[in-house]
Structure 1
Amino acid sequence: MPNGTPADWLTAVDANEVHLAFPLEVHEDLMDVLFPSEGHPFYGMGERGAFCVLAKSTGTHRATYIVEDVVHPESADDLELKGGRSSDDGPSGGRFTELLFGGNSDIASSDDAVIGYEFSEDYHERAVARAKERGGGLIRIHTQPGGVRESSTDIDSAARVYRNDRDRLPTGAPFAAAITNDKGDWSARVYEPATDGGNKPTVTRADRVRVVGPATDGPSIRIQPTGGQTSSDDLTGIDRSQQDSTIQLWGEDGQAALADITVGLVGCGGVGSILAEHLARLGVGEIVFVDFDRLEAANFNRAQGAKRIDVRQNRLKTEIAEREARHAATAEQFETRVVDGSVVEEKREWAAVPALLDCDVIMSAVDAARPRQIIGAIARAHCIPVIDGGSKLHAEADGTLESEAKIETAVAGPGWPCFKCQRVWTQADVDWEADHPEFRGERGYVDGGVDPDEEDRDPSVIGVNAIAAGLMQRRFLALTLGVADGIVGTQRLQVRDVETNWSSVYGCQDGCDAPPIGVGDRYELPTGTGWAMRYERDDIPMPETKTKDASDLVEDSLSE
């Protein structure tokens, strides 16, 4: 990962995109405060508001601010209608006027008197204490009748809160303010230190709002532009002549939603090469391709779109997948990015994680445990759902498939069980892959296999890979468009007998040590040395140290 604190990597003002993200459970909790039922302390008020703990997720080009926890008001005294004079000098009349929001600031009289709603000092202090306890920042969110355009009071008072709190919150903690209404429209602003060193903060407006979590009444990934627009307001990504058959299924709104999505595709081999073309044909707007491997003759028979010249030129699998996706794309403004690197690798030059943090959903087509562990951690800490899929084929001595031969798909993210509890990866496999190969001992890719230095690969058939890719796409459409059920749990297809079953895992097991939801950059991902990448690639050097555990480097020269 990049050096320095998360705040140093990419500021909101320098980002190409700024998103405000909610785990579904947190979003529902917040809505109960902002649009309360009878009996709630805020019921009947013209405007409502709340403080929430805020985390930052820093990608290569996107800065996402995750609302991770709601600080609940304790009584009606935490919010009251207030009339007073705006001031930069802190308390006025026993109140902090920087806690004011809404009201009539844009039509204020000449004496600068304003009327609006104001949080109590006690509530504000509880919010600061909660943020410090969790190690996060703060966001102030309030409702507004009609539209979501901020008033001058909203802008100025939030700036005063930022200046008041920035030295009391953890170093680099984010601060933001947002407005919503009963139609579900949003506007949001991020406050950061002034670029010129002055006292006035830099304010950057968010482009998108994401709500992520297993939903029963629509998509589990809801993305909308800020400012009261929807994806369907801008249909420039749709090509009706090429997408007529899918538009007939989920309409122009659904097709526009696909055109607005960025998908991270990790692994561009057997399953990944199929997904690359299929996702592009579906009409997704952008794909980020991640893989470090090159095409060889041994995997040509299951690499969709590959040409023999690709084998002769030893091309990167990402380059081939990107080429085929570009030729197949139906979205009018289709974009691609190729990341020649590893999810596991911590050195920035080959680290794939920052690019994945620019994505709305990740498709995992890898077969190793360590990448799955890290991608699963991203799903939870950074609120980016991950759909994992693949096959494991076993054969009898006569070549017939064993009953254990299977295809599996699983989803992780906020509200879903983690991949470890779904047994997508095991700690034993992660530990084995994390060790320096000299310490691993004998273990092949296939159960009961041979020395890992030998060219031994998992059995694989392109037709089975296509089934796996199809099942992953089904889950993708269920999550992004809400057009299918089965959004939670692990799906298993027994290949020999063509029997399908779903696991009953709807939550993590007791004692699960999965990353907390929505903490963003504060969670240290278990990246390290990408041994598989370094063994496959002659142009990427091996470290000058041995390791017993990739997370604990031992200063022991290979020559000793």
Structure 2
Amino acid sequence: MHIKITEKMHQELKNHLHSGDGLEAIAFALCGRHSFEGQEFLLTHKILLIEYERCIREVNTVSWKTIDLEPFLEEAAEKGLGIVKFHSHFIQGSEFSELDDKSDVSVFDTVYSWVNGDNQHASIVMYPNGSMKGRIVTPALTFENVEKISVIGNSVTNYCYTTKSQIEQSFIRNAQAFGEKTVKQLSTMKIGVVGCSGTGSPVIEQLYRLGVGHLVLVDSDHVGVENLNRIISSKKSDAEAKRLKVEVIRDHIQSVDIGTKVTSYTNLLQESRQVVDDLASCDYLFGCMDSVEGRHYLNLISTNYLVPLTDIGVKLMADGNGGINSIVGNIHYVYSGSQTLLERGVYTATQLAEESLKRISPEEHQNRQVYFNNVEVDSPAVISVNTLCSSIAVNDMLGRLHPYRFQDNVKYSTTVINLTDWDFNYYSVSETKEKLHYRNIGVGNLEPNFNIYVNEKNN
């Protein structure tokens, strides 16, 4: 099982569970669910901090009344959500105690009596530094270790039950730069890349050579001669044979053979539930496409499933006389609760409506063309610019796993590169004000609040 918590909720839990008075405290989370290929996810949707005055708090134990948990139990029973119990431990790294065992059996016996079914719930201890250890509580009221707990926000922190004991020889120098912990962490990560051409190709090349354990590649297009100037490993013969981009890149990674597993899809993200579910199970996402719809859906996955997302956009504006007016790259880091790509102006609601209509009903789109102000043109694409922006995006991801920058990661939500001015800027962003995104943080595959439209016609 993999449990995910937003950075904001994690801080609220830490403040409550470790207030400084030396007494244990208790809290609960209501969690959305997701499952994919045998892996289960609990995604923190809401938290409930049991007030100190309503508890009997001691140094080694805490007790409370079940009635305080009933609102969560009712909602979990109605919607099939999960319950996670959090309580304090003051000795770093300490195991669950016998008192914890008795408490968890009692609490989750009640939970299972309210929430029918075999879906599992969990219990977590939080230590003074905010680190955590968790266990699944099964319907039989037995315990199993939680494999991973992730805190998702401006930084991405993973607490794993087990880690690789040694680093492969191929990645020794990566460890010298970013530390053994980061390299071992990358080897256990599953990262999705949507769009495998201009910026996607160099992102993928960096990720597998950094030692990422599993890549999920999504692109429905084939290699054309126009792609040979920027897709790493592509050949003229690939273009002539109209080979799919994901197949060319997958075969290249497998031929290098340094341990990265590759899953590839030739569907559009918005037309395959399988693709959505696989991306929702990832530890990190990269959006490397021009599609407004694709960006919108990735942002929804990021919100609903607590998956951090980096969106990369590059724009080269030709002057019509063989020259360039501007070369601009934008790297946006998005996580559940942050400003959305729509709020940041990466695309507009009108553009989203147009692109969706064009895909779903081309005839209606043609009839309504008068309402849309859109001219379809191919913009210039150059490997040196694409690779620069992709490299900054990957290093930004590394900075969130292993904060190496002088300033806090909150400063780097958006990075803008204007090569024509040789200007590099970065900005922070505020929390989202979109009610849809805010109320759907961590809902997982809960229906009907899951607002990703999936057209299965191409499955």
Find the counterpart in structure 2 of residue 87 from structure 1: none
Shift in Å, 1:221: 0.8
**Which amino acid counterpart does residue 474 of structure 1 have in structure 2?**
N
2:267 to 330, 341, 345: 341
Find the counterpart in structure 2 of residue 76 from structure 1: 53
Find the residue that maps to 2:203 and give its secondary structure: helix
Find the residue that maps to 1:344 and give its secondary structure: helix
Find the residue that maps to 1:280 and give its secondary structure: helix
CA contact (8 A) 1:374 1:525 kept: no
Indicate the larger mover: 182-191 or 298-307. 182-191
Shift in Å, 1:327: 4.2
Aligned pairs for 1:205-244 (under 5 A) are 205-214=145-154, 220-226=155-161, 231=163, 234-236=164-166, 238-240=167-169, 242-244=170-172
1:287 to 215, 234, 255: 215
Shift in Å, 1:278: 1.3
2:422 to 474, 480, 498: 498
CA shift digits 1:95-140 (9 cap, x unpaired): xxxxxxx97xxxxxxxxxxxx5422234333553675799843211
Evaluate the alpha carbon distance shift between residue 378 and residue 148 of structure 1 in structure 2; reply closer, same or farther with a 3 A threshold.
Answer: farther
TM value normalised by structure 2 = 0.86
Shift in Å, 1:179: 2.5
What percentage of residue pairs aligned between the two structures are identical?
22
1:407 aligns with 2:329: yes
Distance 1:33 1:136 in 2: 23
Distance 1:504 1:77 in 2: 39
CA shift digits 1:432-455 (9 cap, x unpaired): 121111121287xxx8635xxxxx
Aligned pairs for 1:24-423 (under 5 A) are 24-37=7-20, 43-45=21-23, 47-80=24-57, 117-125=62-70, 127-128=72-73, 136-144=81-89, 146=91, 147-151=93-97, 154-155=100-101, 157-166=103-112, 168-169=114-115, 175-182=121-128, 186-191=132-137, 193=139, 200=140, 204-214=144-154, 220-226=155-161, 231=163, 234-236=164-166, 238-240=167-169, 242-328=170-256, 333-346=259-272, 348=273, 351-403=274-326, 405-423=327-345
Distance 1:307 1:467 in 2: 22
Shift in Å, 1:383: 1.1
Find the counterpart in structure 2 of residue 440 from structure 1: 365
Distance 1:423 1:417 in 2: 10
Gaps of 5+ in 2: none
> Deviation above 4 Å: which 4+ runs of structure 1?
129-135, 145-148, 169-174, 201-204, 327-330
Evaluate the alpha carbon distance shift between residue 202 and residue 345 of structure 1 in structure 2; reply closer, same or farther with a 3 A threshold.
Answer: farther
1:431 aligns with 2:431: no
Find the residue that maps to 1:394 and give its secondary structure: strand
Distance 1:239 1:154 in 2: 39
CA shift digits 1:27-51 (9 cap, x unpaired): 11111121113xxxxx332x33222
Shift in Å, 1:496: 2.5
**Which amino acid counterpart does residue 49 of structure 1 have in structure 2?**
I
Find the residue that maps to 2:313 and give its secondary structure: strand
Shift in Å, 1:25: 0.8
Q: Tell me how many residue pairs correspond in the alignment.
A: 446
**Which amino acid counterpart does residue 495 of structure 1 have in structure 2?**
L
Distance 2:37 2:7 in 1: 25
**Cα RMSD after superposing both structures:** 3.1
Find the counterpart in structure 2 of residue 469 from structure 1: 390
Q: Which has the higher helix share?
A: 2
Find the residue that maps to 2:135 and give its secondary structure: strand
TM value normalised by structure 1 = 0.72
CA shift digits 1:344-368 (9 cap, x unpaired): 114x4xx311111221110110110
CA shift digits 1:464-492 (9 cap, x unpaired): 21122112112112212212355543222
Evaluate the alpha carbon distance shift between residue 297 and residue 254 of structure 1 in structure 2; reply closer, same or farther with a 3 A threshold.
Answer: same
CA contact (8 A) 2:191 2:214 kept: yes
Evaluate the alpha carbon distance shift between residue 371 and residue 383 of structure 1 in structure 2; reply closer, same or farther with a 3 A threshold.
Answer: same
Shift in Å, 1:277: 1.1
Distance 2:38 2:268 in 1: 18
Distance 2:72 2:383 in 1: 54
Find the counterpart in structure 2 of residue 90 from structure 1: none
Distance 1:512 1:359 in 2: 25
**Which amino acid counterpart does residue 22 of structure 2 have in structure 1?**
G
**Which amino acid counterpart does residue 272 of structure 1 have in structure 2?**
G
CA contact (8 A) 1:364 1:389 kept: yes
Find the residue that maps to 1:370 and give its secondary structure: helix
Shift in Å, 1:310: 1.7
Indicate the larger mover: 141-150 or 47-56. 141-150
Distance 2:382 2:98 in 1: 62
Shift in Å, 1:517: 2.1
**Which amino acid counterpart does residue 472 of structure 1 have in structure 2?**
A
Find the counterpart in structure 2 of residue 97 from structure 1: none
Shift in Å, 1:186: 3.5
CA contact (8 A) 2:189 2:283 kept: yes
CA contact (8 A) 1:277 1:328 kept: no
Find the residue that maps to 2:218 and give its secondary structure: strand
Shift in Å, 1:413: 0.6
CA contact (8 A) 1:277 1:329 kept: no
Evaluate the alpha carbon distance shift between residue 33 and residue 173 of structure 1 in structure 2; reply closer, same or farther with a 3 A threshold.
Answer: farther
**Which amino acid counterpart does residue 273 of structure 1 have in structure 2?**
S
Distance 1:511 1:143 in 2: 34
